[in-house]
């Protein structure tokens, strides 16, 4: 009997929701069915997904940002196939691998000059865990400062740096010594650091939850304050890195030099889990300071050949296809075109972002009928209005988007960086139509709104 993945997929072509409900997290299936996202995707190429009827969807979620070079990129596929067929000695452990050295070198070509060492791991949250441990060990201090509304991952250390209660509830006690300050608030940061007992300040250069962009002097001042008080400055670029914001690193918008950069998501083209921390030589040499500490922090699968090969191929594609430049150009076009609609629509507050990390924020309108309808949704569940945009975008315009976080009226776009001008025009006209429809009361979109509000209220009552 031969083993075949294609046969398995053919035999179970419509079983995925049943299997998932039975063996994995059935609440996720409930959510997908409730909002009508229960599709059977069969194929994915570049920025597009295709369902079993051959319908094309423009994917502006890109697996939460991992498919920056697009899905199933042929260059990465061929690098992975080649790596497999070479029968390389993978993960020998009492050895080092050439591919990890090469990927480390390529990444460090892109980072600020003060960073010249790399640590590899398997995910964004693991990169943050490493940064926490490395900062504590290097500074001999315990405290870590993070920002309100920041997101750094869901393992216990990283979770201790996530302010959002929905993620923390019931999982405590978390790491001691983690203190939050408002994002973009230098006075609060200075106050938190001034006791000279903080190991690290960790910050996303552009916050993922809500796509919050700091003032231009914020990160340069963060760097200065961290130096002044002996705190390590950690840039969490797990989401913003590798071209997402229209520069290779988001910190490049402000020319700052953090002591560590955490990265993951886009680094391996979406094929293999990977994470990394770029750091100063001093941090690396302090943590790994003796031979008996050579493996004091690490992970069994880190630096595996598939992740390293995918990383090398992905960085090659980023450069060959000029994806950073495309992210800046098409992303800015989308933001400007959506902002141009704001005069037309009371619900639309603004579009903001950098490159292809884009937020579209909605607001309570002035006219009475619209205001009452908005209030009905907010009372049922804060941020529910966004579903009245994302659901029609998906069902009518075949565009996959997400809300930017819990309890906020912000839709977020995190597309593959290879969007074309045709995709851009499709996005803008679809938003125009979807937003226009929300201004029609009564109308079918508000029937959906009432339905969603009903579900939300039932959920609150534990249904
Ligand atoms: C800024 C940031 N840090 C860390 C993480 C955690 O990464 P992962 O989900 O790979 O653990 C994320 C994930 O969204 C992120 O956006």
- 28 pLDDT exceeds 70? yes
Q: What is the per-residue pLDDT for 216?
A: 98
pLDDT digits (tens, 9 = 90+) for 197-223: 999 999 999 999 999 999 999 999 999
Cα 426 to averaged position of ligand 1 atoms, centre (Å): 29
Q: Which domains does the chain have, with CATH numbers?
A: 15-69+323-460 (3.90.1150.10), 74-320 (3.40.640.10)
Nearest to 52 by CA among 44, 40, 36, 68: 40
pLDDT above 90: percentage of residues in the chain: 90
- 89 pLDDT exceeds 90? yes
Q: What is the per-residue pLDDT for 214?
A: 98
Cα 310 to averaged position of ligand 1 atoms, centre (Å): 19
Cα 462 to averaged position of ligand 1 atoms, centre (Å): 29
- 176 pLDDT exceeds 70? yes
Output the residue whose Cα is nearest ligand 1's atom 8: 124
Tell me which of 128, 203, 238, 241 to substitute to probe ligand 1's pocket, judged by most ligand atoms within 8 Å of the beta carbon: 238
Output the residue whose Cα is nearest ligand 1's atom 7: 124
Cα 265 to averaged position of ligand 1 atoms, centre (Å): 7
Cα 238 to averaged position of ligand 1 atoms, centre (Å): 6
Residue 203 sits at the vertex; the CA angle it makes with 131 and 212, to the nearest 5 degrees, is 150
Mean pLDDT of 169-188: 97
- 391 pLDDT exceeds 90? yes
Cα 321 to averaged position of ligand 1 atoms, centre (Å): 25
Please state the atom number of ligand 1 nearest to the C-alpha of residue 153.
Answer: 6
Q: What is the per-residue pLDDT for 249?
A: 98
Q: What is the per-residue pLDDT for 163?
A: 86
Higher pLDDT, 205 or 380: 205
Cα 7 to averaged position of ligand 1 atoms, centre (Å): 34
Helix ranges restricted to H, 56-201: 62-65, 74-85, 98-110, 124-139, 156-159, 165-168, 186-193
Cα 62 to averaged position of ligand 1 atoms, centre (Å): 14
User: Residue 229 in contact with residue 422, Cβ under 8 Å?
Assistant: no
Mean pLDDT of 396-413: 93
Distance between alpha carbon 6 and the CA centroid of its chain, in Å?
31
- 463 pLDDT exceeds 70? no
How far apart are alpha carbons 454 and 100 in whole angstroms?
A: 52
pLDDT digits (tens, 9 = 90+) for 120-133: 999 999 999 999 99
Task: Show the beta-strand stretches assigned E in 1-94.
Answer: 41-45, 48-51, 56-59
pLDDT digits (tens, 9 = 90+) for 270-287: 999 999 999 999 999 999
Give the count of beta carbons closer than 10 Å to the beta carbon of residue 246.
23
Cis ω on the peptide bond leading into residue 442 (within 30° of 0)?
yes
Q: Ligand 1 site: residues with CB under 6 angstroms?
A: 64, 123-125, 128, 151-153, 204, 208, 236, 238-239, 264
Higher pLDDT, 377 or 215: 215
Q: What is the per-residue pLDDT for 349?
A: 97
Average pLDDT, rounded, for the chain: 96
Q: Who contacts 185 (Cβ-Cβ below 8 Å, separation ≥6)? A: none
Cα 262 to averaged position of ligand 1 atoms, centre (Å): 9
Distance between alpha carbon 108 and the CA centroid of its chain, in Å?
21
Output the residue whose Cα is nearest ligand 1's atom 10: 124
Cα 165 to averaged position of ligand 1 atoms, centre (Å): 17
pLDDT digits (tens, 9 = 90+) for 228-284: 999 999 999 999 999 999 999 999 999 999 999 999 999 999 999 999 999 999 999
Tell me which of 240, 250, 261, 264 to substitute to probe ligand 1's pocket, judged by most ligand atoms within 8 Å of the beta carbon: 264
User: Residue 143 in contact with residue 135, Cβ under 8 Å?
Assistant: no
pLDDT digits (tens, 9 = 90+) for 141-168: 999 999 999 999 999 999 999 988 999 9
pLDDT confidence of 14, banded at 50, 70, 90?
very high
Please state the atom number of ligand 1 nearest to the C-alpha of residue 236.
Answer: 1
Mean pLDDT of 184-197: 98
Cis ω on the peptide bond leading into residue 130 (within 30° of 0)?
no
pLDDT digits (tens, 9 = 90+) for 321-374: 999 999 999 999 999 999 999 999 999 999 999 999 999 999 999 999 999 999
Cα 186 to averaged position of ligand 1 atoms, centre (Å): 24
Output the residue whose Cα is nearest ligand 1's atom 4: 152
Helix ranges restricted to H, 290-366: 305-320, 323-339
Q: What is the per-residue pLDDT for 389?
A: 95
Q: What is the per-residue pLDDT for 114?
A: 98
Nearest to 296 by CA among 166, 138, 415: 138
Q: What is the per-residue pLDDT for 462?
A: 63
- 451 pLDDT exceeds 90? no
Residue 42 DSSP SS3 = strand
Q: Any bridge partners for residue 400, and if so which? A: 59
One DSSP character per residue, 100-140 reads: HHHHHHHHHHHS-TT--EEEEESSHHHHHHHHHHHHHHHHT
Tell me which of 63, 239, 270 to substitute to probe ligand 1's pocket, judged by most ligand atoms within 8 Å of the beta carbon: 239
Q: What is the per-residue pLDDT for 105?
A: 98
User: How far apart, in Å, are the Cα atoms of 378 and each of 386, 387, 433, 457?
Assistant: 11, 12, 22, 11
Give the count of beta carbons closer than 10 Å to the beta carbon of residue 250.
28
Q: Who contacts 102 (Cβ-Cβ below 8 Å, separation ≥6)? A: 308, 312
Tell me which of 122, 147, 152 to substitute to probe ligand 1's pocket, judged by most ligand atoms within 8 Å of the beta carbon: 152
Q: DSSP letter for 251, please.
A: G
Which contacts of 84-91 are long-range, i.e. CB under 8 A and separated by 24 or more positions?
A: 84/306, 88/305, 90/304, 90/305, 90/306, 91/300, 91/301, 91/303, 91/304, 91/305
Residue 173 sits at the vertex; the CA angle it makes with 167 and 260, to the nearest 5 degrees, is 70
Tell me which of 153, 211, 276 to substitute to probe ligand 1's pocket, judged by most ligand atoms within 8 Å of the beta carbon: 153
């Amino acid at each position: 009997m031969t083993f075949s993945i294609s046969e398995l997929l053919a035999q179970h072509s419509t079983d995925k929701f049943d299997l998932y409900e039975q063996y994995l997290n059935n609440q996720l299936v409930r959510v997908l069915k409730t909002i009508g996202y229960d599709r059977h995707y069969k194929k994915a190429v570049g920025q597009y997904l295709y369902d079993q009827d051959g319908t094309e969807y423009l994917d502006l979620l890109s697996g939460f940002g991992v498919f920056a070079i697009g899905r199933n990129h042929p260059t990465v596929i061929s690098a992975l196939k080649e790596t497999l067929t070479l029968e390389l000695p993978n993960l020998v452990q009492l050895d080092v691998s050439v591919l990890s050295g090469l990927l480390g070198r390529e990444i460090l070509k892109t980072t600020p000059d003060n960073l010249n060492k790399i640590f590899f791991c398997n995910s964004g949250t693991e990169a943050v865990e490493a940064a926490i441990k490395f900062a504590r060990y290097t500074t001999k201090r315990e405290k870590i400062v993070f920002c309100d509304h920041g997101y750094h991952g869901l393992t216990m250390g990283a979770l201790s740096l996530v302010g959002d209660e929905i993620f923390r509830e019931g999982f405590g006690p978390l790491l001691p010594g983690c203190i939050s300050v408002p994002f973009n608030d230098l006075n609060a940061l200075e106050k938190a650091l001034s006791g000279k007992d903080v190991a690290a300040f960790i910050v996303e250069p552009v916050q993922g939850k809500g796509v919050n962009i700091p003032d231009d002097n914020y990160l340069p001042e963060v760097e200065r304050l961290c130096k002044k008080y002996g705190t390590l400055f950690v840039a969490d670029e797990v989401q913003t890195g590798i071209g997402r914001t229209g520069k290779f690193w988001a910190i490049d918008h402000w020319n700052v030099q953090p002591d560590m950069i955490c990265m993951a998501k886009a680094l391996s083209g979406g094929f293999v889990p990977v994470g990394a921390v770029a750091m100063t030589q001093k941090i690396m040499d302090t943590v790994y300071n003796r031979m008996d500490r050579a493996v004091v922090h690490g992970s069994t699968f880190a630096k595996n050949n598939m992740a390293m090969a995918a990383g090398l191929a992905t960085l090659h594609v980023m450069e060959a296809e000029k994806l950073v430049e495309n992210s800046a150009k098409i992303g800015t076009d989308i933001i400007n075109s959506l902002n141009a609609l704001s005069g037309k629509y009371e619900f639309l507050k603004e579009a903001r972002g950098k490159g292809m990390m884009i937020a579209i924020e909605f607001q309570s309108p002035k006219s009475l009928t619209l205001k009452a309808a908005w209030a009905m949704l907010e009372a049922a569940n804060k941020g529910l209005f966004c579903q009245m945009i994302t659901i029609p975008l998906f069902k009518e315009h075949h565009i996959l988007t997400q809300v930017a976080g819990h309890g906020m009226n912000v839709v977020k776009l995190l597309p593959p960086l290879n969007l074309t001008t045709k995709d851009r025009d499709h996005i803008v006209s679809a938003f125009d139509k979807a937003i226009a429809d929300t201004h029609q009361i009564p109308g079918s979109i508000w029937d959906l709104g009432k339905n969603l509000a009903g579900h939300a209220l039932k959920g609150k009552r534990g249904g």
